[in-house]
Amino acid sequence: MKRVIDHIVYAVHNLEETVLEFEKKLGVRPIFGGYHRSQGTKNALINLNNESYLELLSVDHTNTIISSPRWMGVDVLSKNQITRIALKSNTLENDQAVLKKHDATMGKISGGSRNTTNGSVLQWRLIMPLSTPEVELAPFMIDWSKSQAHPSTSLPDMGCTLIELYATHPRPEQIRHLYETLDFKIEIKESQKISLNMVLNTPNGNITL
């Protein structure tokens, strides 16, 4: 299958405050998604169309069962920022081998679920994103084929689309090779800072995050 983005993870310290900030900045209010009971996080979503979305993710402090370290870098977050990207996949086992070759700690396949606000349950299989580092340029992969729907299908058209996605890294050739192996195009710029960045077209114009 052609490699496409499933979702972009924007980890935040306070979900409710960030929803209000994004509404002012983008001109659209992120919609509360639900809770990841097995991961100790919660999210709000912005539809980016083409069955993709931006996920605002934070610790769910009401969850007293799951403690640190939680996934996606939420426990080591220095500031609100993109920490992970997810690609769609129907070949998780093949992707697992590629990621393990890149980093032996990567590649664990697991199932997951989330309760939605309308009472339905979304189900997925994914290659688990790790709890660290804060920003991980290597993508994780997700397969929704066992789910009744994709999260974006429950969202209205919010007037937002992804214009550009790029990363920065001190040794960009390492990350470029990984993405070439995964057959996904992303610009990797050389910088001492490791980061993921995107440009969105929104009701308030083009916004860089």
| Token reading at 74 | 């939420």
1-10, 103-112, 142-151: lowest mean pLDDT where? 142-151
Whether residue 108 has pLDDT greater than 90? yes
pLDDT value at residue 93: 95
Q: How large is the C-alpha radius of gyration of the chain?
A: 16
pLDDT value at residue 147: 80
pLDDT value at residue 162: 98
Examine residue 199 and state whether it is found in any structural domain, yes or no.
no
Q: Sign of torsion, CA 126 198 71 15?
A: negative
Q: What is the pLDDT of residues 64-92, one digit of tens each?
A: 999 889 999 999 999 999 999 999 999 99
Q: What is the DSSP string of 56-101?
A: EEEE-TT--S--SSPGGGGGG-SSSEEEEEEEE-S-HHHHHHHHHH
Helix or strand or coil: residue 158?
A: coil
- What is the CATH classification number for the domain harbouring 16? 3.10.180.10
Residue-range definition of the domain harbouring residue 49: 5-156
pLDDT value at residue 158: 97
Determine the angle formed by the axes of helices 92-102 and 172-182, rounding to 10 degrees: 160
Looking at residue 175, its amino acid is I
- Number of domains into which the chain is organized: 1
Select from 106, 130, 117 the least CA-distant residue to 30: 117
Entry pTM:
0.94
Examine residue 184 and state whether it is found in any structural domain, yes or no.
no
Examine residue 168 and state whether it is found in any structural domain, yes or no.
no
Examine residue 24 and state whether it is found in any structural domain, yes or no.
yes
Examine residue 177 and state whether it is found in any structural domain, yes or no.
no
Q: What is the pLDDT of residues 16-61, one digit of tens each?
A: 999 999 999 999 999 998 888 889 999 999 999 989 999 999 999 9
pLDDT value at residue 122: 81
Examine residue 186 and state whether it is found in any structural domain, yes or no.
no
pLDDT value at residue 1: 58
Examine residue 167 and state whether it is found in any structural domain, yes or no.
no
Examine residue 164 and state whether it is found in any structural domain, yes or no.
no
